[in-house]
Amino acid sequence: MHSRTLLTFGETMGRLDAEGIGLLDGGRPLSLKLAGAESNVAITAARLGADVTWVGRVGPDGVGDLIERRLRAEGVSTRALRDDAFTGLMISSRRTSAGVRVDYHRAGSAGSRLRPSDLPQELIAGAGVLHVTGITPALSAGAREATFYAVDVARAAGVLVSVDVNHRAKLWSAQEAAPVLRDLVARADLVFAGPEEARLVLDAPNDAADPLTLARAVAGLGPTAVIIKDGPRGAVAIVDGAEHVAPPVPVHAVDPVGAGDAFVGGYLADLLDGADPATCLTTAGRTGAYAVTVPGDCEHLPYRHELAAFAAAEDVAR
């Protein structure tokens, strides 16, 4: 690696959380937080001790101010480029206790107007890991161009490229997404995906293959490391041809949104610290499990000492 810095970019939004359970109406208070896969990863990794830089566009509004202020407060080196469009929003609510409903308001947002010139070559070439997601190329043609530009610059500079497939059906259809995500995965060194996302990239049937077989098939596209995140069923990885399995961490789920990003942030923080794949996978699983036990995308993610205490409690519970 060129350095121990994690570089990531993408859209960060405001997240409005409706308190309680029931219809979303004027009688329920809303709290304002942050949301965004890449900034979730950035904050997770920073809290675990990594050197992290985030780049993105925000609007000339209070939500944009909050994003810039919060990321910097988390110790993330922040390049919040001001745009004259609005900062995107997501609204999270619970109609019942069975799950969380998420609605996005981001079409035409500042974050969707990212372009290659926002990402200096020297910034990319100086990173240890460039992390991108499949969300950014779904936002606009310019954001898609910026994603592949950054990946190509990183590859040319010998920077490790990390990709979280992160297919968002509300942003683009599987038919539109599949060839783009397959191309992105083929250029990556390290890939994170859920089982359904792996099948999407592979153009495989929905019931095809177990996670390890899926990981090997995705690795056949080019990446040297593939991690399949399978939520409450744990995770598996193929790294340089070797298999790794991380069992699930049993927890009481409070808010599942952002758990996959926490998983990725935990893995990358350990990777930048020189840990072996098994250790990275264990840390990732514990960080993702911790994330579902607390509300919000990133506000209550663990610091390294809290993760150690969480792991100790998990070991005692076993």
Q: Pick from 36, 64, 288, 246: which is nearest to 143 by CA?
A: 36
Closest CA to 52 of 33, 80, 71: 71
Q: Identify the helix (H) or strand (E) that includes residue 237.
A: strand 235-239
Q: Which amino acid would we find at residue 175?
A: Q
| Selection from 183, 186, 184, 182 nearest residue 204 by Cα | 182
Structure tokens of 112? Answer: 């969707």
- Is 210 in the active site? no
CA dist list (Å): 270 to 135, 235, 295, 303: 24, 16, 24, 13
Contacts of 256 (CB under 8 A, 6+ apart): 100, 231, 292
Of residues 261, 270, 273, 315, which has the active-site annotation? Answer: 261
Q: Is 63 exposed, middle or buried (0-12, 13-18, 19+ CB in 10 A)?
A: buried
Strand order in the sheet with 225-229: 77-82, 51-58, 5-9, 129-133, 160-164, 190-193, 225-229, 235-239, 242-246
Burial class (CB in 10 A: 0-12, 13-18, 19+), 170: exposed
Distance CA 98, CA 70 (A): 30
Residues known to be catalytic: 261
